Amino acid sequence: MKKMMKRMLCALFVCTCIALSAIGAADIAIADRVYLLPDGTTDAPAFARIDYSQGQSKATATVFGIPLKKTDVSELKSARVIPGGQSFGVRLGIRGAIVSGVGTVATDNGACSPGKDAGLRVNDLITCVNGEEIDNSEGFISAVRDSGGKALDIKYKRGKTEIETKLRPVSDESGVYKAGVWVKDTVAGIGTLTYVTEDGEFGGLGHGICDPLTGEALPLERGEIFDAHITGVKRGRSGDPGELCGYFGKDRKGDVRLNTDTGVFGKMSAIPDGTPIGIALKNKVKEGNVKILCTVDGEGVREYDAQITCILSRESDTKNFIVRITDKELLAKTGGIVQGMSGSPIIRNGMLIGAITHVLVNDPTRGYGIFIENMLKYSE
């Protein structure tokens, strides 16, 4: 009798440990934020039930009938989108003034370099002069021109570090005060449109337009998108990712309202032609063959073969998986993934699952991809 009791207690102990381990694993597997499609589908693991009321920001995740944890909920507005693949030009206006060059000023007493003396370097972001925020390059230029030669208190960002310095403009040979600093407040480039919702909201690139030092998305003041016409390709090679070559069209096609780590987002002036398709949430994405849509020549959007070779993270916002180009025709044209293909939609079984974001520099046939839900959360 005692032996049987011991066996029962041991079995109960083992079962309890297994159950606790399973619950613990489930707690880890269920993210702190769950994404919800209009049809009620979520990206939570299949074993979890999400108890949620529409309009609420929180839900309860239940496993084996046990309320396990509270999780945030984001409702994705679009269950169907028009896939992109078109090259587009993006022009962003940045809050502040980006230093694009530091040189000298010719004065009656010889050449001077106030900017260099103040410690300014290319890619520094000037944000404040004499306590006043700088909205654009003209704000900085005006402050220098109107300084009368008095020292200006400057605040600027170099990467993640905010620095204060004093800049003393000098009078050039014509009597105009200058700093020997060239500045800009716009950045532009070519990328690929990922999707357009049936309301005209778009997402593209799959990554932000970033500070070259930190990799963080630059602060957006304003933005526009244009058609881009591809005229050629610089093929990618190991150590050199290559790029699409082209130019912007004349007509503005929409406005950019967000520049984030997961892409650029905004509103199209007109919804492009195309048949909406469904999206697959991240818990449905697996390794295997896929199609990508992109534009690499004057023939417009075409479909090419690729593979998802590795799922890296279902929880991070970016760099979720590795995609490898397998299409012989695309490899012959581009060598793989090149700059300008960022945002290329990835399709599997007729569903949009994500987008290409970055190339692996040492192997241009491979690159990172992002789950589509990480982009769609900004199209609201």
Three-state DSSP at 6 gives helix
Taking the CA atoms of 101, 107, 112 and 115 in sequence, report the sign of the dihedral they define.
negative
Average pLDDT over residues 351-368: 95
**What CATH number is attached to the domain comprising 162?**
2.30.42.10
Cα angle for residues 224, 121, 174 (degrees, 5° grid): 90
Three-state DSSP at 171 gives strand
CA distance readout (Å), 223 to 51, 157, 200: 39, 21, 16
Residue 93 lies in a domain: no
Alpha-carbon distance of 167 to 169, in angstroms, equals: 6
Confidence of residue 6 (pLDDT cuts 50, 70, 90): low
- Whether 203 and 327 share a structural domain: yes
Domain that holds residue 14: 2-75
- Whether 297 and 359 share a structural domain: yes
Residue 94 lies in a domain: no
Residue 184 has pLDDT above 70, yes or no: yes
- Nearest Cα neighbor of 49 from 66, 33, 35 is 66
- Whether 172 and 306 share a structural domain: no
Alpha-carbon distance of 232 to 43, in angstroms, equals: 40
Per the DSSP assignment, residues forming a β-bridge with 98 are 125, 184
What is the percent of the chain where pLDDT is above 90? 57
Cα angle for residues 106, 108, 109 (degrees, 5° grid): 90
CA 337 to chain centre: 17
What is the CB neighbour count within 10 angstroms for residue 164?
9
Range in 12-16, 20-24, 205-209, 346-350 with the lowest mean pLDDT: 20-24
- Whether 234 and 367 share a structural domain: yes
CA distance readout (Å), 301 to 315, 344, 345: 31, 10, 11
Please tell me which residue, 179 or 34, carries the higher pLDDT value: 179
Average pLDDT over residues 355-375: 94
Overall domain count for the chain: 3
Residue 2 has pLDDT above 60, yes or no: no
Confidence of residue 22 (pLDDT cuts 50, 70, 90): very low
Question: Each residue of 85-127: pLDDT tens digit?
Answer: 999 999 988 888 999 899 999 998 889 999 999 999 998 999 9
Residue 319 has pLDDT above 80, yes or no: yes
pLDDT of residue 181: 94
Of 58, 75, 92, the last residue of a domain is 75
Of 149, 179, 209, the last residue of a domain is 179
What is the CB neighbour count within 10 angstroms for residue 153?
13
Look at the chain and count its residues: 380
Residue 349 lies in a domain: yes
Range in 76-80, 102-106, 203-207, 274-278 with the lowest mean pLDDT: 76-80
Which residues are known catalytic residues? 207, 327, 342
What is the CB neighbour count within 10 angstroms for residue 266?
23
- Whether 168 and 55 share a structural domain: no
HSE-up of residue 186 (Cα within 13 Å, Cβ side): 11
Which one-letter DSSP state was computed for residue 338? -
Question: Each residue of 42-61: pLDDT tens digit?
Answer: 555 555 555 555 555 555 65
Residue 85 lies in a domain: no
pLDDT of residue 277: 93
Average pLDDT along the chain:
84
Highest averaged pLDDT of the listed ranges 93-102, 157-166, 321-330: 321-330
Contact yes or no for 155/143 (Cβ under 8 A)? no
Taking the CA atoms of 212, 215, 217 and 218 in sequence, report the sign of the dihedral they define.
negative
Question: Each residue of 271-294: pLDDT tens digit?
Answer: 888 899 999 888 889 999 999 999
Where helices occur in 94-148 by DSSP H, the ranges are 114-117, 137-145
- Whether 305 and 241 share a structural domain: yes
Average pLDDT over residues 187-213: 90
Alpha-carbon distance of 62 to 71, in angstroms, equals: 11
323-326-328-331 Cα dihedral, nearest 10 degrees: 30
- Whether 323 and 218 share a structural domain: yes
HSE-up of residue 317 (Cα within 13 Å, Cβ side): 12
- Whether 357 and 260 share a structural domain: yes
Which one-letter DSSP state was computed for residue 219? P
